[in-house]
Amino acid sequence: MTAPEWLASPNFTERRDGYDPGLIVLHHTAMESAEAALARLRDPDAGVSAHYVIGETGRTWQLVSEDMRAWHAGAGEWRGRGDVNSRSIGIELVNSGRHPFAWPQMLRLEVLMQDIMTRWRIPPEGVIAHSDMAPVRKSDPGERFDWRALALRGLSVWPGPEVSRRIADPAGFADSARAFGYPCDVDAEALLMAFRLRFRPWASGPADAVDAALADDLARRFGVDHTGPAT
């Protein structure tokens, strides 16, 4: 596939404290066109940007160099670490949030992610949703995004195939979700909403045994201790 088209945004700084990117944060633009999204992400008054934007046809633009700090994540944390902008590469997918993501777009995303993950040695568990690191503020890329497809290609993580059959106490869901990486200072209701956006978008109601089992599996396989303050 062709290289991304360079379309520079002025909205970036150097990464703080010498951080290299260890995360990829996926977003949707929540706008009706690529042109509108690109205009906003390059507007100095808007104060937002991303490293990459991928259109519905797979056309891809690079707005910020990967070694620089794009302004895409905002306030939040993942695995107990704040300043996600300094620790991540942000990819915006042109999508209003109301319809499925186009196949050419997903194919281009997979190729781009493979390159980035190889270049920066980012593991599959380092690929997260904007809603994962900021559950109260954000819901993108949303319930229409196919996380399982990425996981099947080694580009993200997914609970084990038999996990949903386990008996787990729903009361343990929030602790397991936080152990997997979700922010510690977010209440259980917001955690459940963010978790289900990614892993059970069809589910409803209070946290149940399936939520608890899935979160426990993810925490056991990919979690870290992040009981201290975010830095």
35 is catalytic: no
Please state, in angstroms and as integers, the Cα–Cα distance from residue 201 to each residue in 8, 139, 194, 197, following that order: 35, 12, 9, 5
- Catalytic residue, chosen from 32, 56, 66, 92, is 92
Helix, strand, coil % (nearest 5) of the chain? 35, 15, 50
Specify whether the CB–CB gap between 195 and 182 falls below 8 A: yes
Here the tokens at position 118 are 């190889």
How far apart are alpha carbons 109 and 13 in whole angstroms? 24
Residues 6+ apart with CB under 8 A from 118: none
> Would you please indicate which residues are annotated as catalytic (active-site) residues?
92
